Structure 1
């Protein structure tokens, strides 16, 4: 078995799959991609509606948060992917990038080369968009980006209801303006999921210089004289990188592995009996995530996909998909939504909505026995900051994940405004033919205190964690603006953990962009040409 490669990429998720694929375009370098999880052969990873199974354990580490002290000690299920393709293999396939100002803010923090105009070409580079091209979109890239193939009439009614509250309809939330409600584009091709692994790795698995190993969990990074020289696996295998190790294990996995390797806050590592290799207090700090709140209404008829939960209807849905690529199996179940304001003075929308075409779709979310519709709202620019720390030196133990939700009073106020916004939308005349009554929060929840008590029971993560190995030009930054680890040679980090601030939307597309940009920077720094 080969044990030395030019590049070792740790983590086969949204960014790691891109980086391994792009580096292996250079024929005379060898690339090893290590993924702790397994393959994506199971049909649920390919069928759009398989998302409904994903947050309930399939392809996940099964982690939870620590009790959230600002939310009555609520413990959240915290789905983190454990499968090739990472989050892109188990998410709802919503293709959003955030606001242009998100990236311009990074530049204003000193991250030259990361403004919106700098990163836009990398978004376009990945795309094979079935509808748009031009300034904001691309065609011919590896990643399928498509219009929804299975919308329902209640989706159009939702868009009309937004209009009744003064929220404009939009065709493209990734275009000139993010504002408005409409249909999301999805990371799909021909009504099948287009994960990063399916898009970037699967077509290139025959490259002789690309090795992909699944079920390969890294125990620690191997260091020698201030340089990361490779990795050691849980089974004792030692693998070495002649050029660089690229850590792409996500906003939870990357700081976790660094700390297991003795790289992080020295006092905490020493207290766990871990030999400190480098004291870097900000490894695992700056955790940001979008807290997702939701309202659920019972529907007045078979207006959502809940009716297909019964066995005979599930069989019908499967047949409909096989014959026409339509129906509930072809749906991501969250393909309509949009962006609007909780704070009217915000520089861009600060609330994102997702219309769920059913109930009980995600782990911890209530189901309506007679069928219903769910409308989520998350506040997009939280001021609260959390941490990822180790509870033990044992790599088999789950990390201590603390998003620190609603620690900042502004986050609480804006989140509750977002909840009220979705309740108001669901109450509009345009949706009255479809909705029987609001069941959650329900008519007994009227005051702010009642709403807060409700969300301490009924809320979830949006799966948008970021920031735990932040990029910057200050002395405390974990990586520099070319994603090189500050204080160690031979190591880069490239995933959502490098974001100084989380983008104002879902994080999958930005993670793929980070992978594209990282690959180009590595090639340039290493003097490589395809």
Structure 2
């Protein structure tokens, strides 16, 4: 038996934030548990090696076969390492739109979570090197930087989007998200700036902090309605019980957090009974699952101008030497250097996001689904931002080592199909602009489909849609136990001393990349914990 004031299950983008803020406030002793390893590999530092670390340091989550997507099983891997997603992601710093959070407040009934409520916590997290107006923080824990390396193909895509009529922007997180430009990234001096290397590193030597990696949390111990601690194991060893004098905070993500709650007896009573777990609190844990999806519009180029093969042979050695000696060059790129947000329905807020890639993209395909793309090319990842489809996360068994079952229900809402078709049409329109058309040899995905052939585009969408790795919603925020899991201060309904603090709380995932959102939630979770009344 070990005792701590706080136990945090998950050292990801939110969990590291909570741990650091509790230690900084001298709130007591903290045990931070992480199922993955330390982020000690050099590849975690090098921005351009994002694909390598993502493949090596992630949970291999797969969906069930998706009926609306040609019965394909889809990869939705999630970070399994100190820093979680922030240690393996594309480092893009996007918060979403003001309307997203105002929708949380007005449509989803989450009073106190409007834009005016969350903006101070975004700013608290952020140390922006070039933006310092009403919308940005300059002294936060995480550096937000301009990308120093800008590939010519990224610049060409940005120019093409301007030719479509989009304004150029240097701030997707300010007064308006709409436009095209280069993304700011969570990097500094040519290195990735994860929450592990920023928040956690700032307190790592504090005697009140204990960080345990390779630690799989089995369940939360609950006595009556009070969370008293957790059971976990290290490298599949014997079960260890740790006691929490003040709070247990679950920050294990859209799949890990509902899993831990359900293994603890908190969740849909009928489902828990079916897998041999005695229900303690009947809540809709695992419901409301949704994610951002995208398709890749791929085009070969007339000349060898992409980064294809730059990771091989003498080129790879040259780039590594440049990065090692000067922290400059191609390896400082997050590859997804630029993008766009488009209001495809003319309703006053963007609903489509682009990511530009200076190569042919096939990184997110289900393993074995497609051959690797060969040759030089350019890609635009296109996707709709506000899914209406909802799936569910379930336990496969009562064994903590089993991954969850992901019944994603992608494209189950007909509006999502129409929206993703529009996204593809926007991507094809960009490829037709003079800047891109002059360098493109052939659009190979989708191949020979006219921009107005909606039937063929629908088939393409169903056959090619894939995740952007932004899952959330499975421990939904709200005021009612009938349709939410946690209350407006992130406490699990019907319990004491138990919170969930990560992207699983989102009633609707904000419009864009989600790492900045996870950090904001971590900041708010720490604030609520430090100012708790119970």
Structure-1-length-normalised TM-score: 0.96
Determine whether 1:260 maps to 2:260.
Answer: no
Q: Partners of 2:27 and 2:417 in 1: how far apart?
A: 53
Measured in 2, the distance between the counterparts of 1:47 and 1:433 equals 33
The Cα shift of 1:141 comes to 1.4
Q: Which residue of 1 aligns with 2:509?
A: 502
3-state secondary structure, aligned to 2:460: helix
In structure 2, what is the equivalent of residue 428 of structure 1? 433
Is this contact kept in 2: 1:74–1:456, CA < 8 A? no
2:9 corresponds to 1:10: yes
Structure-2 separation of matches of 1:353 and 1:360: 13
Q: CA deviation at 1:361?
A: 5.6
Residue of structure 1 in register with 2:68 after alignment: 70
CA distance in 2, matches of 1:138, 1:124: 4
In the alignment, the residues of structure 1 paired with residue 27 and residue 258 of structure 2 have an alpha-carbon distance, to the nearest angstrom, of: 31
Indicate how the Cα distance of structure 1 residues 400 and 28 shifts in structure 2: closer, same or farther if over 3 A, else same: closer
Q: CA deviation at 1:315?
A: 1.2
SS of the aligned residue for 1:269 comes to: helix
The answer as to whether partners of 2:246 and 2:497 remain within 8 angstroms in 1 is: yes
Alignment of 1:93-492 (within 5 A): 93-108=91-106, 109-234=108-233, 235-280=238-283, 282-345=284-347, 347-360=348-361, 362-364=363-365, 367-444=372-449, 447-476=453-482, 477-492=484-499
- 8 Å CA contact 1:158–1:430 kept in 2: the answer is yes
> How many angstroms does 1:101 deviate by?
0.6
For 2:85 and 2:245, how far apart are their aligned partners in 1? 29
Tell me, what secondary structure is at the counterpart of 2:289?
coil
Give the structure 1 partner of residue 530 of structure 2.
523
Cα 1:158–1:288 shift into 2, 3 Å: same
> What RMSD, in angstroms, separates the aligned Cα atoms of the two structures?
1.6
Q: Give the 3 Å change call, closer, same or farther, for CA 320–299 of structure 1 in structure 2.
A: farther
Cα deviations across residues 112-159 of structure 1 (Å, max 9, x unaligned)? 221111111111111111111121111121101101111012222211
Cα contact 1:384–1:406 (8 A) shared by 2: yes
- 1:35-54 to structure 2, matched below 5 A, reads 35-54=34-53
Residue ranges of structure 1 left out of the alignment (5+ in a row): none
Name the SS for the 1:306 alignment partner.
coil
Q: How much has 1:319 moved relative to structure 2?
A: 1.8
Is residue 87–residue 508 contact of structure 1 (8 Å, CA) maintained in 2? yes
Q: Deviations over 1:436-482 (max 9, x none)?
A: 22111121566323223223332320111111111111232211100
Alignment of structure 1 residues 13-32 onto 2, 5 Å:
13-27=12-26, 29-32=28-31
Q: How far apart are 1:76 and its partner, in Å? A: 0.6
Select between 454-463 and 489-498 the one with higher mean Cα deviation.
454-463
Q: Secondary structure at the match of 1:14?
A: coil
CA distance in 2, matches of 1:309, 1:156: 21
| CA distance, structure 2, for counterparts of residue 314 and residue 293 of structure 1 | 29
* Structure 2 contact 298–361 (Cα < 8 Å) conserved: no
Q: CA deviation at 1:366?
A: 6.0
1:367 positional shift: 4.2
* CA deviation vs aligned residue, 1:145-175 (integer Å, no higher than 9, x gap): 1011110122222111112111111111001
Distance in 1 (alpha carbons) for counterparts of 2:371 and 2:185: 25
The TM-score normalised by the length of structure 2 is 0.95
